[in-house]
């Protein structure tokens, strides 16, 4: 790469959609790249990864705890289609049976599991707007802190009644709703274009990692202690993250106290023609009319239908259909998300290498990873429904399905930063608002369709999810793009680097 980040004003004005660095469209000039090791931008990636680990651990721990919170003798319906129970393994300690049990039917369980998303959807767009205008650090930090506080109150709310638990979960969703829009807004100021896939996927891989750790660990906590400790343990982990976040993170390179001059110059010069001042008027009309944005909306909605259905109900499927104990349940439910986490990290490396070294266009890379990460999971999820009681094959298919889905982290999930980096937080708030709807209605519909927990009922659930996934992949392939849109391009002359 060239050591200078200077570029003629005419080039900047004629091609506002081109990043300064080579992006797969032919550009080659840019600032000298700052080392990744011990850098502030990768430090931010790791700490935000920890933040999303906390966010998703707090989101999914109820899915496992729910299995242990229910009075098995009085809830649910026994069906002859259930698979034989697997070996229980060691006997559960007696002292962990002091926690209360509840007589919630399948419909109530569905509302409890889905209630988080009713709060989550409320703060998506406001989160993107507030992060752009006032900064993302405190918005994201306080959002997750709020979720931590209400997680610690979950056992008390459950004792008071299902309605109180639903209210607490809604408030948890309100806090977490700002996280992705705020982080997207922060990456718009921190992520050089040709490192964007790597940095963002490291950051958001914390979501899969949180799921991977929370599911088995929740099962172990339920087994050896009781379900109430699930919420106390993960709440404490969240409090530690908030302390580190407040001490070590800054909204942008300009306000960071420990960033090197070389890295600050590299980031600033890489983004100088993409970002517009925060005081600019937001082009709401152009945003709402953008087919590039609607392509992301449809893909995000479609993918999340499958993701949230499995996220909330996979432990139930493992218990009620495949016959796994609470201890086995958490471990096996985590396998799909372990694969998803690994594929998300791999996809980020592949995406940036295809753009930087192989000179593939941004649109081509985003679409290829999105199609692979949506059609592949649809095929294996559908196949899962027809494995019968072959629990090994069922777990393998579910793992492959979720693993391939990790590729979308470098597909449509990051596309907001390609088409409108200045408004990335707002755009993610819009797309994530639509993508939250599956979390609100998916578990409710799935539990309504699986009232008797038969294999045939679950086949219907998987078929619906697979069909929606394929539709989203096709729509995004047709209408998705990878260039900065005219309404999002920086106006006027860039500052000198």
Domain ranges of the chain: 39-76+105-488
* Helices and strands of the chain, counted as H and E runs: 19, 0
Please tell me the predicted confidence (pLDDT) of residue 353. 87
- Of residues 340 and 298, more confidence is placed in 298
From the list 158, 189, 178, 187, the residue with the least C-alpha distance to 277 is 189
Residue 22 scores a pLDDT above 80: no
Mean pLDDT of all residues in 290-301: 96
Instruction: Indicate the pLDDT class of residue 195, thresholds 50, 70 and 90.
Output: confident
The pLDDT of residue 44 is: 94
Q: What is the pLDDT of residue 301?
A: 96
Q: Could you tell me which residues are beta bridge partners of residue 102?
A: 70
pLDDT digits (tens, 9 = 90+) for 221-252: 888 888 999 999 999 999 999 999 999 999 88
Q: How far apart are CA 278 and CA 282, in angstroms?
A: 9
Length of the chain: 497
Place 491 in a pLDDT band, splitting at 50, 70 and 90: low
Instruction: Write out pLDDT tens, residues 410-434.
Output: 999 989 989 998 888 889 889 989 9
d(CA 269, CA 408): 28
pLDDT for 444-479, tens place per residue?
Answer: 788 788 888 788 888 899 999 999 999 999 999 999
Q: Which residue has the higher pLDDT, 16 or 456?
A: 456
Q: Is the pLDDT of residue 32 over 90?
A: no
Per residue in 47-104, pLDDT (tens digit) is 999 999 999 999 888 888 888 888 765 444 444 446 776 655 566 565 556 778 888 8
Confidence of residue 138 (pLDDT cuts 50, 70, 90): very high
Q: Which residue has the tokens 């392509």?
A: 295
Percent of the chain residues topping a pLDDT of 90: 35
Q: How far apart are CA 79 and CA 335, in angstroms?
A: 27
Q: How far apart are CA 431 and CA 480, in angstroms?
A: 13
Chain centre to alpha carbon of residue 197: 14
Q: Say what the pLDDT of residue 73 is.
A: 56
Confidence (pLDDT) at 11? 37
Predicted TM-score (pTM) of the model is: 0.73
Question: How far is it, in rounded angstroms, from Cα 256 to Cα 259?
Answer: 6
* Average pLDDT of the segment spanning 364-383: 94
- Give the least confident one: 62-66, 272-276, 361-365, 401-405: 272-276
- Residue 4 pLDDT: 39
> Residue 226: what pLDDT?
87
Beta strands in 195-325 (DSSP E): none
Highest mean pLDDT range out of 140-144, 305-309, 381-385?
Answer: 140-144
Rounded distance, CA 190 to CA 485, Å? 20
Give the pLDDT score at 185: 87
317-345: average pLDDT: 78
Question: Domain spanning 39-76+105-488 has what CATH number?
Answer: 1.20.1250.20
**Three-class DSSP category at 102:** strand
């Amino acid at each position: 790469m060239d050591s200078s980040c200077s570029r003629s004003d005419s080039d900047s004005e004629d091609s506002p959609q081109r990043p300064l660095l080579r992006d797969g469209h032919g550009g080659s000039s840019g600032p000298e790249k700052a080392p990744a090791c011990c850098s502030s931008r990768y430090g931010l990636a790791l700490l935000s990864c920890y933040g999303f680990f906390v966010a998703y651990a707090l989101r999914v721990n109820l899915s496992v705890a729910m299995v242990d919170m229910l009075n098995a003798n009085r809830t649910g319906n026994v069906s002859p289609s259930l698979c034989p129970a697997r070996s229980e393994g060691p006997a559960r300690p007696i002292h962990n049976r002091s926690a209360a049990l509840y007589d919630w039917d399948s419909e109530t369980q569905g509302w409890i599991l889905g209630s988080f998303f009713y709060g989550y959807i409320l703060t998506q767009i406001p989160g993107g707007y507030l992060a752009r205008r006032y900064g993302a650090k405190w918005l994201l930090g306080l959002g997750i802190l709020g979720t931590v506080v209400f997680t610690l109150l979950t056992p008390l709310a459950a004792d008071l009644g299902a309605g109180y638990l639903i209210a607490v979960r809604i408030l948890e969703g309100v806090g977490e709703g700002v996280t992705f829009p705020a982080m997207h807004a922060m990456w718009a100021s921190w992520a050089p274009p040709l490192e964007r896939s790597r940095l963002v996927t490291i950051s958001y891989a914390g979501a899969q990692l949180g799921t991977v750790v929370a599911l088995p660990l929740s099962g172990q906590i339920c087994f050896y202690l009781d379900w109430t400790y699930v919420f106390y343990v993960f709440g404490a982990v969240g409090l530690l993250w908030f302390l580190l976040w407040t001490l070590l993170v800054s909204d942008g390179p300009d306000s960071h106290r420990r960033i090197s001059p070389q890295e600050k110059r590299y980031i600033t010069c890489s983004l100088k023609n993409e970002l517009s001042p925060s005081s600019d008027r937001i082009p709401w009309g152009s945003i709402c009319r953008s087919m590039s944005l609607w392509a992301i909306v449809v893909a995000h909605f479609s993918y999340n239908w499958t993701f949230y259905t499995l996220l909330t109900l996979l432990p139930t499927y493992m218990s009620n259909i495949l016959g796994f104990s609470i201890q086995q349940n958490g471990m096996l439910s985590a396998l799909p998300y372990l694969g998803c986490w690994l594929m998300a990290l791999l996809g980020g490396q592949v995406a940036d290498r295809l753009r930087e070294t192989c000179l593939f266009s941004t649109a081509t890379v985003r679409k290829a990873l999105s199609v692979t990460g949506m059609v592949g999971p649809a095929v294996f999820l559908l196949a899962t429904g027809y494995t019968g009681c072959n629990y090994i094959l069922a777990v393998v298919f579910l793992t492959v399905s979720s693993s391939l889905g990790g590729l979308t982290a470098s597909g449509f999930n990051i596309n907001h930063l390609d088409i409108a980096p200045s408004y990335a937080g707002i755009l993610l708030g819009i797309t994530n608002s639509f993508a939250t709807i599956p979390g609100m209605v998916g578990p409710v519909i799935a539990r309504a369709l699986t009232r008797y927990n038969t294999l045939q009922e679950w086949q219907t659930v998987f078929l619906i999810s697979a069909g929606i996934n394929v539709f989203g992949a096709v729509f995004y392939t047709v209408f998705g793009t990878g260039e900065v849109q005219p309404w999002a391009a920086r106006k006027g002359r860039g500052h000198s680097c």
